[in-house]
Structure 1
Amino acid sequence: MILSRLLPVCISLTALCACGGNKGITPQHRDITEMVFASGVLEAYDQYNLTAQQDGYLVQLKFNEGDLVNKGQPLAVIDNHQNILNARSAEELHGIAARNTQPNAPALLQIQANIQSAEAKLQLDQQQADRYQRLYQHNSVSRLEYENAQLAAVSSKAALDALREQYNNQKINAQQQEVSQRFISGVNQVTQEQNQIKAVTSGRIYQKQKQLGDYVRKGDVIAVIGDPELIYAKLNVDETNMAKLKEGQPVVIRLNTNKSKTYQATIHQILPSFDAASQSFLVKAYFTDSLDFRIAGTQLEANVITGEKKNALVIPRAYLQYGNTVLLKKGRQKTTVQTGIVSSDWVEILGGINENTVLIQDNK
């Protein structure tokens, strides 16, 4: 609809320029539409890259372009035997560490046996010390013999306490080792599972970027997945035009696959950051009519309608010179004009000249 309104304007411009030129023209009252041009691509909503988490060869690819996939669905398998071996080794070491924490663990049983022996020895030494104490009280043994008996009991008690402390330390060390090995086993299990690549969210496979047998490195993109229901236009807008854009403005879009057809859309979101890769600002435009070509990545051209005015005083854009000046036919003098809306063909004149002013082009 917008393009059909612009068509008579373009025809009038051609006729005007044909009869104008250095013969002179005068400003005219016409409807004018201001548009901001932008390039872009079709993109699926919530689009993301399915990437490899490990290095290796792709030994399985379980999808094709256009397939619908569910969240968590396995889509590819990477052959990485090192991850598998590491996971098995860590699991076995964790099993050993776990068994070492049990009461029947060999190290604990050995210390427990030593404790039992030390307890028996302490009991005997304590009995001997008590007996020598009674004998000493009756002057039946020497003081040295009495003190040696007492010392033997004290030593046995210290040896028993040391063994009990050793038993507790062994249990703590075994438990710490079990925790450490359990963590390492879990990490290696996750790493092994990363050999199997799964869909992060449900969606459609829009691009398949690797083939069966390809060697991939961590971070390589294997496929592009996005929402199958919502396709929008991602526009790249030059920074000089960003001040003119607002959410809700109408957009006319042509896909490069069929430039004879246009689609209507509106600006849905203006992203708040500058895109360094494209050296432009990014704008999302949602289609307001039916989109019959839904292949993500399709390049497009867009014109954002930023302003319209009825019966505006305009001149052909070719007559506006640097510094917003125009060349008067009378005396070939330059004068400055105040401009409003600027379209691809016309410039709105707000002041400086009127509809009776005759303009010519500078052919120098």
Structure 2
Amino acid sequence: MITIILCFIKFYMKALYIVLSLLFISCGGKQEKTVPTVKKLSESVYASVTIQPDSLYEAHAVVNGILERNLVDEGALVNKNTPLMHITNSTSALTSENALLSLQLSTNNYQGSSNLLKEIKEDIETAELTLKNDSVNFKRQENLWSQNIGSKIEYDTKKLAYQRTKNQLKVLYNKFYRTKKELETQAKQAQNTYKSSKINTDEYTVTSKINGKVYALYKNTGEIVTTMEPLASVGSATDFIIEMLVDEVDIVKIEKGQKALITLDAYSSEVFEARITKIYPQKDSRSQTFKIEALFITTPKKLYPGLSGEGNIIIAEKNNALIIPKEYLLNGNSVITNNGVVQVVTGLQNLNEVEILKGIGAETEIIKPE
């Protein structure tokens, strides 16, 4: 009984295979057919593209205030340290003016014609003359006293006057050097304070950090300026970089030095070659993409910040690859031939084509699945 059942199953399967094969072959004549081609194939990764000037940065003020005026226009070419805008602040101006007055006063006290040191020096000269006179009188009285001429009171008086003048001169010398040191220190402190206030005043003029072009001005005259808000956008006038966003599933395939083919919306009929120069390691959590940068090998005639387009980064290339259209691939690993379904091994692939490594040959006719 089991033998009869097994024979029936084998007969049924064979008959079903014959029917399906005849049905497949009969329908095959109505389906599209092709044969593999041998040519160069490139596998690439897609990226969205935005053009930005090289060294692009946003200029900020280092102090708060009010924008007095913009010193350049948008689109202006500037050199490094070119003033871009000036900010006013009355407090800073008053501080600087007071520092200047303090500097002038301290300098005059130290070096001026009526300075304190001159007064002390005149006192010293007077004390030196007095000491010289008291010294002569004391010596004369001392000689007389040694000869028992004169009184003891006269001798002591002359001696005391000499000692007093001598001590007074010593005090004046100490006062002179101490005052000189104090005035010198005060003058230096005033000078440093003025320099500091001058630096703060200079910081109210925002200057360019590079040679380039002013692409945007964000504030108008009279508006409040803070250190948190950008005032201008400045970048290179001649060199541009290509910012590309790559999906996280493809970033591991990207290497520096790989070639990219760039199409821009502004140049829809042209393809530009570029080379990958930088890969940013941090993923953007919002877009789930990684940013990479590239430089043009062939540069468009005109470029502007913000131009957008698409890029294909070549991650692999192969000459003489056996290629079929992707639409002829069944379930990712099979093709339909005149003899039925055949499994294949695929290699490189792009958006439209796929390489066949094993399973069919260049002469094999394949049928497009419905």
1:217-228 paired onto structure 2 within 5 Å: 217-218=226-227, 220-228=229-237
Q: Say whether the 8 Å CA contact 1:265–1:287 is kept in structure 2.
A: yes
8 Å Cα contact 1:28/1:313 also seen in 2: yes
User: In 1, are the aligned partners of 2:259 and 2:314 still within 8 Å (CA)?
Assistant: yes
Q: Does structure 2 retain, via aligned residues, the 8 Å contact 1:238–1:281?
A: no
Q: How does 1:108-127 map to 2 (within 5 A)?
A: 108-127=117-136
Q: Is the alpha carbon distance of 1:287 and 1:354 closer, same or farther for their aligned partners in structure 2, counting shifts above 3 Å?
A: same
Match of 2:272?
Answer: 264
Give the greater-gyration-radius structure (CA). 2
SS in 2 for 1:180: helix
In 1, Cα distance between the equivalents of 2:327 and 2:159? Answer: 117
Alpha-carbon distance, 1:207 to partner: 2.0
Unaligned runs of 5+ in 1: 1-18
3-state DSSP of counterpart to 1:134: helix
**1:207-264: CA deviations, max 9, x gaps?**
2222333212125322212232333323344575355434362422323xx4844440
Residue 165 of structure 2, aligned match among 156, 164, 185: 156
Tell me which residue corresponds to 2:84. Answer: 75
Cross-structure match for 2:351: 344
Counterparts of 2:327 and 2:110 in 1: how far apart (Å)? 87
- Describe the shift of the 1:247–1:225 C-alpha distance in structure 2 as closer, same or farther (beyond 3 A): same
Cα pair distance change 1:214/1:297, threshold 3 Å: farther
Q: Higher mean Cα deviation, 91-100 or 311-320?
A: 311-320
Following superposition, the deviation at residue 61 of structure 1 comes to 2.1
Cα separation, partners in 2 of 1:117 and 1:341, compared to 1, 3 Å = same
Counterpart of 1:265 in structure 2: which amino acid?
Answer: E
Amino acid in structure 2 at the alignment position of 1:252 = I
Larger CA deviation: 208-217 vs 138-147: 138-147
Closer, same or farther: CA 263–186 of 1 in aligned 2, 3 Å:
farther
Normalised by the length of structure 2, the TM-score is: 0.72
The residue number in structure 1 matching 2:43 is 34
Is contact 2:213–2:237 with CA below 8 Å preserved after alignment? yes
- Cα deviations by residue, 1:33-53 (Å, 9 ceiling, x for unpaired): 211222332122333323223
- TM-score, normalised to structure 1, is 0.73
Pairwise CA RMSD: 4.1
Establish whether residue 251 from structure 1 lines up as the match of residue 261 from structure 2.
Answer: yes
Contact 2:256 2:278 in 1 (8 A): no
User: Quick one: structure 1 residues 93 and 317, their matched pair in 2 at CA, closer, same or farther if it must change by over 3 Å?
Assistant: farther
Stretch moving more, 205-214 or 310-319: 310-319
Distance 1:116 1:54 in 2: 53
Residue 288 in 1 paired to residue 301 in 2? Answer: no
Kindly provide the CA deviation profile for residues 8-43 of structure 1, in whole angstroms up to 9, marking residues without a partner as x.
xxxxxxxxxxx99xx9x9994454221122233212
Within the alignment, does 1:175 sit opposite 2:184 as a pair? yes
Give, in whole Å, the separation in 2 of the partners of 1:168 and 1:318.
Answer: 102
Change (3 A) 1:347 1:144: farther
CA contact (8 A) 1:327 1:360 kept: no
What are the ranges of 5 or more consecutive residues in structure 2 without an aligned counterpart? 1-26
CA distance in 1, matches of 2:64, 2:148: 86
The 1-side partners of 2:124 and 2:104 are apart by 27
Aligned pairs for 1:344-363 (under 5 A) are 344-350=351-357, 353-355=359-361
Identity of aligned residues (%): 24
The 5 Å alignment of 1:1-364 reads 28-31=36-39, 32-102=41-111, 104-140=113-149, 146=155, 149-150=158-159, 152-218=161-227, 220-237=229-246, 240-241=250-251, 244-247=254-257, 249-255=259-265, 258=266, 260-267=268-275, 270-271=277-278, 274=281, 280-286=290-296, 288-292=298-302, 294-314=303-323, 316=326, 326=333, 340-350=347-357, 353-355=359-361
Once residues 54 and 43 of structure 1 are traced to their aligned partners in structure 2, the CA distance between those partners, rounded to angstroms, is: 28
Q: Summarize the Cα distance change of 1:104–1:40 in structure 2 as closer, same or farther, 3 Å threshold.
A: same
Would you say the 8 A contact 1:61–1:76 is kept in 2?
yes
Higher deviation after alignment, 92-101 or 170-179: 170-179
Distance 1:358 1:71 in 2: 65
Native 8 Å contact 2:51 2:242 kept in 1? yes
Corresponding residue number in structure 2 for 1:16: none
- Displacement, 1:288? 0.7
Residues 113-159 of structure 1: CA deviation (Å, up to 9, x unaligned): 33233223322332233123213322346778756654543443232
Task: Please report how far the alpha carbon of residue 176 of structure 1 lies from its aligned counterpart in structure 2 after TM superposition.
Answer: 2.2
- Report what 1:10 is aligned to: none
**CA distance, structure 1, for counterparts of residue 134 and residue 360 of structure 2:** 125
Report if aligned partners of 1:253, 1:265 keep a CA contact under 8 Å in 2: no
